[in-house]
Amino acid sequence: MRIDAHVHIAVKEDENPMSRPENVIRSMDENGIDKIICFTFGTGLDGQKRLADMIAPYRDRMIPLAFVGPREKDAAEQLLYCLDELDFQGVKLHPYVSNFCVADINLLRPIFDILEERRSYAVIHCASEDFRSHPTMFERLGNSFPHVLIQMAHMGEVMSTKYAVDVAKRVPNVYLDTAICSYAAVNRALANCPDKVFMGCDYPFYKFEMEIQKQLLVAKDTGRNKEIENIMGGNFVKAFTIDENNNIRHNLYR
């Protein structure tokens, strides 16, 4: 099964039309993508409701996460609504968009207490040289909430990939995704923690075929075809149980 773990869906008229659900599905079909982890471009409960409605016809292939801003007073209530009423499967957080720091455990606690209790899933943006989301901050977060599977999106992008890989090696519940990362970054992750990496393309900023080609080039040059196939889906299937309704539950500590 081929899974992309980092896809944005357009829920507003002024957002990229490539990311409208029907266009995402078309591109998935063209590139052999079976399922995606998806979320909106930004926070706001209205947007989350629109996402739920728009992907309803494709819910067997699209697994939604709630994009929540930790600084919003009702962040925990928004998350609970998305989990319980909209059947979302975790949370997407973006330190730059929502202006928070991954090291601020007290700010994140209301959200992560919910995720910890439910043994749920969080995808958190981590691009290079942003003081709010350096990969080393994920170590304390992961250790503070050991029953939340945390996906470090972009794994530090270019300049901080080494630190991201080191954290993923040390912390059992911290995983990485390959969205917008370099060929060299995928190579580093493959050499150090090949079972802790999910493929992601950050669609529509990058495209499925670009991400797949990057993975295949690494496989060609390293000869590690099985490990690359795992990055492109096998690792996610191993990390999560996916039921007949496309609900997911991670398999940490079982």
Residues 134-147 have pLDDT tens digits of: 999 999 999 999 99
Using DSSP, state whether 145 is helix, strand or coil.
Answer: coil
What is the spatial distance between Cα 92 and Cα 95, in angstroms, rounded to a whole number? Answer: 10
What is the spatial distance between Cα 43 and Cα 46, in angstroms, rounded to a whole number? Answer: 9
The residue among 48 and 158 whose pLDDT is bigger is 48
Residues 168-220 have pLDDT tens digits of: 999 999 999 999 999 999 999 999 999 999 999 999 999 999 999 999 999 99
Q: What is the pLDDT of residue 254?
A: 54
In a domain, 89, yes or no: yes
- Residue 60 domain boundaries: 3-240
In a domain, 144, yes or no: yes
pLDDT at 129 over 90: no
Strand pairing class (149-153; 121-125): parallel
In a domain, 247, yes or no: no
Residue with tokens 């409605």: 53
CATH assignment at residue 80: 3.20.20.140
Confidence of residue 157 (pLDDT cuts 50, 70, 90): confident
Question: Residue 44 region, left (φ>0) first, then alpha (ψ -120 to 50), else beta?
Answer: left
In a domain, 51, yes or no: yes
In a domain, 101, yes or no: yes
What is the spatial distance between Cα 30 and Cα 61, in angstroms, rounded to a whole number? Answer: 14
Q: Give the total number of structural domains in the chain.
A: 1
How deeply is 115 buried, as exposed, middle or buried, from its count of CB atoms within 10 A (0-12, 13-18, 19+)?
Answer: buried
In a domain, 246, yes or no: no
Strand pairing class (121-125; 66-67): unpaired
pLDDT at 65 over 60: yes
In a domain, 52, yes or no: yes
In a domain, 252, yes or no: no
